[in-house]
């Protein structure tokens, strides 16, 4: 198992309950969920990967279990990883997903 499939199912269930159109795409050794053709969140190994407004990045990094996403030695502002202990409850997972969904309409799409 390259990523936590149970967490992926939980994310999908929340998106479906909210009637959010999404699609999953395997990348980074995990799965990303795209909303409006823009990365919204996903699962990387056991962690939640989430894309939020860069303006609230530092504030959200103060939340328990949150840390910057860092693939290249430099953290990516607006991309946060949350450890599984701190998203064990659905309301905690939904908190992060709501932040991502709120930012998604303003997020820039990657170049095709």
What is the C-alpha to C-alpha distance for residues 82 and 65, in angstroms, rounded to an integer? 5
Statement: residue 1 has pLDDT above 60: no
For the chain, the domain total comes to: 1
Residue 27 domain-assigned?
A: yes
Residue 53 domain-assigned?
A: yes
pLDDT for 83-106, tens place per residue? 999 999 999 999 999 999 999 999
pLDDT band (50, 70, 90) for residue 13 = very high
Residue 50 domain-assigned?
A: yes
pLDDT band (50, 70, 90) for residue 112 = low
Residue 85 domain-assigned?
A: yes
What is the C-alpha to C-alpha distance for residues 105 and 112, in angstroms, rounded to an integer? 18
CB atoms within 10 A of CB 63: 14
What is the C-alpha to C-alpha distance for residues 49 and 93, in angstroms, rounded to an integer? 11
Residue 36 domain-assigned?
A: yes
Lowest mean pLDDT among 3-7, 45-49, 70-74: 70-74
Residue 91 sits in which domain range?
5-106
The DSSP secondary structure of the chain, one letter per residue, reads: --S-HHHHHHHHHHHHHTT---EEEEETTEEEEEETTEEEEEEETTEEEEE--GGGHHHHHTSTTEEEEESSSSEEEEEEEE-GGGG-SHHHHHHHHHHHHHHGGGSPPPP-
Residue 112 domain-assigned?
A: no
Q: In the prediction, which pLDDT does 70 show?
A: 84
Statement: residue 72 has pLDDT above 80: no
Q: Is the dihedral of CA 79, 23, 5, 103 positive or negative?
A: positive
Lowest mean pLDDT among 18-27, 56-65, 67-76, 101-110: 67-76
Residue 111 domain-assigned?
A: no
The domain that holds 45 is classified in CATH as 3.90.1150.30
Residue 15 domain-assigned?
A: yes
């Amino acid at each position: 198992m390259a990523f936590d499939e149970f967490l992926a199912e939980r994310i999908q269930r929340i998106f479906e309950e909210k009637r959010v159109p999404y699609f999953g795409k395997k990348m980074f050794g995990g799965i990303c969920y795209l909303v409006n053709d823009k990365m919204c969140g996903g699962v990387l190994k056991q962690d939640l990967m989430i894309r939020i407004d860069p303006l609230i990045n530092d504030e959200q990094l103060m939340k328990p279990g949150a840390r910057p996403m860092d693939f290249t030695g430099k953290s990516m502002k607006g991309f946060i990883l949350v450890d599984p202990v701190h998203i064990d409850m659905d309301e905690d997972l939904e908190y992060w997903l709501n932040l991502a969904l709120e930012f998604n309409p303003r997020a820039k799409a990657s170049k095709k």
